[in-house]
Amino acid sequence: MRMDRFDRMRLYARVVERGSFSAAALDLGLARSTATEAIKGLEADLGVRLLDRTTRHVAATLDGEDHYRRCVAILADVEEAEGAFRAGNPDGLLRIDAHPHLTRNFLLPGLPAFLARYPDLRIHFGQGDRYVDLVREGYDCVIRAGELEDSGLIARRLGALREVTVASPTYLARHGVPQTPDDLAGHLAVGFISSRTGEVMPLELIENGHTRYVTLKTRVTANDSGTANALARAGFGLVQAPRYHFAEALAEGEMVEVLPDFPPPPTPLTALYPQNRHTAPRLRVFLEWVQGIFAGGEV
């Protein structure tokens, strides 16, 4: 397979981003041998070594980093120019990372119609709420809940998630139902470990227009929201989560909302993507679609 200049640029940029010939080749639908030979040819044509190769990882040299930045800039210009003429028909693979609950509850219901509108588009969903290095792992965009630190990425606010404090009926039968934040003394919480701080997150309650932070004793902790929610269902304590996590359980009486007059503050929902991705037509139409789902409000 013969690759033109722009195809080699796309391949080289993806190899640098993924740190792997195999991963880059898989992303672009190429054989690994084709990718390897193409990069060897690129290095021969330029007369410099662009990549340091080990058995486990591939990394750009200093010359390679410079060439990568130039390739990304050129490819962004090309995508923007081409997108002006085929904006209605974006194509290619779009790699998105979002929490599984978020994907299943909000993205999947409208996905068939979205893909029917753009038949040449393919989407890969990564599932998690861990930190993702978009560039190195080859993702085009991540969707995250919560306040985010400055990452150098472009951030687009999508909306906000309504939060709720809940407990199981068995837990409340043993410990009583608190009516005010002051009644929480003696209660237990399912401790959710923050991925950013490594510490148990306190409960957050809006009282008299201000957020009050309450730290309760914990007997069980988890760093996965699904596990924390399951522990709360099993009666190990109070937990706070987006309301949609417990909508069915609340409706069926399997869980009980606690302190409804003192709700947690809503959690902002944000899409993050690298500077060089924002002109890609496939990402642009995806972001417009996701923005429409949340419509800038609370869900």
Average pLDDT, the chain: 87
Q: How many residues does the chain have?
A: 299
Mean pLDDT of 47-72: 87
Bridge-based pairing state of the strands 121-127 and 256-257: unpaired
Residue 132 has pLDDT above 80, yes or no: no
**Position with higher pLDDT, 278 vs 49:** 49
The answer to whether residues 268 and 202 touch, using CB atoms and an 8 Å cutoff, is no
Residue type, 4: D
248 vs 76: CA distance, rounded Å: 44
The residues, any chain, with a CB within 8 Å of residue 255's CB and separated by 6 or more, are 166, 167, 168, 169, 232, 233, 246, 249
DSSP state letters, 48-88: S--EEE-SS-EEE-HHHHHHHHHHHHHHHHHHHHHHTTSTT
The answer to whether residues 294 and 244 touch, using CB atoms and an 8 Å cutoff, is no
What's the pLDDT at 110?
93
Tens of pLDDT, residues 142-194 = 898 887 765 678 888 998 999 999 999 999 999 999 999 999 999 999 999 98
At 109, the pLDDT band (50, 70, 90 cuts) reads very high
**Position with higher pLDDT, 77 vs 160:** 160
At 246, the pLDDT band (50, 70, 90 cuts) reads very high
180 vs 168: CA distance, rounded Å: 18
Tens of pLDDT, residues 247-298 = 999 999 999 999 999 999 999 999 988 776 556 788 889 999 999 998 756 6
227 vs 225: CA distance, rounded Å: 5
Domains and CATH numbers, the chain: 5-83 (1.10.10.10), 92-161+268-294 (3.40.190.10), 163-265 (3.40.190.10)
